Amino acid sequence: MAENLVVERTVKAPIERVFATARQIERFPEWLDYVTSIKVLERSEDGKIVVSEWEASVPMLGLKAKWIERDEWDEERRVCQFALLEGDLDKYEGEWTFEPYDDGTKMLLKVNYEYQVPIGGALIQQLVRKIVEQMMKNLLEGISVAAEQSMVR
């Protein structure tokens, strides 16, 4: 059964800086301790479409997760739509939005994922949900810190 998760975070940095920081996916391993590598496989000439290969550690399970995803960045709407092309999950897609908010930016990350487990399903599903939700929160925190630190320089 598919799961829907939503996390949000406000950043004390202008939307242009936050959106530009989020688009630097090659730098995510610097900002996110669970991401061990990201390799861009394809990038459209205008930079709006990016296909990348990810590897992340999942300490709770003692595993490494690998996947290939396609991101479509809409500069005008300040939105990234993403979807799994192949990987360990059965389904992984969503939308990442950026909106002006008070003296900064609000990031909203919506993820729809599915991971089918034949044995011990309910318990494993709960654990996977916690892991995906924590990774989402860590992603927003990492981008937030990176965008705010770049303001100080």
pLDDT at 120: 60
- Domain hosting 111: range is 3-152
Specify the pLDDT at position 72.
98
State how far the Cα of 42 lies from the Cα of 39, in Å rounded to an integer. 9
Task: State the pLDDT at residue 25.
Answer: 94
Give the total number of structural domains in the chain.
1
Contact 41, 50 (CB under 8 A): no
Q: What is the CATH number of the domain that holds 34?
A: 3.30.530.20
Could you list the pLDDT tens digit for every one of the 153 residues in the chain?
788 999 999 999 999 999 999 999 999 999 888 899 999 999 999 999 999 999 998 777 677 889 999 999 999 999 999 999 999 888 999 999 999 999 999 999 999 998 877 666 677 788 888 988 999 999 999 999 999 987 654
CA dihedral (108, 55, 21, 131) in degrees, to 10, reads: 30
Cα distance between residue 73 and residue 19, in whole Å: 10
Task: List Cβ neighbours of 117 (8 Å cut-off, separation of 6 or more).
Answer: 124, 125, 128
Q: What dihedral do alpha carbons 59, 65, 70, 72 form, nearest 10°?
A: 0
Q: Specify the pLDDT at position 124.
A: 77
- At residue 37, the pLDDT reads 95
Q: Which of 37, 20, 36 is nearest to 146 (CA)?
A: 20
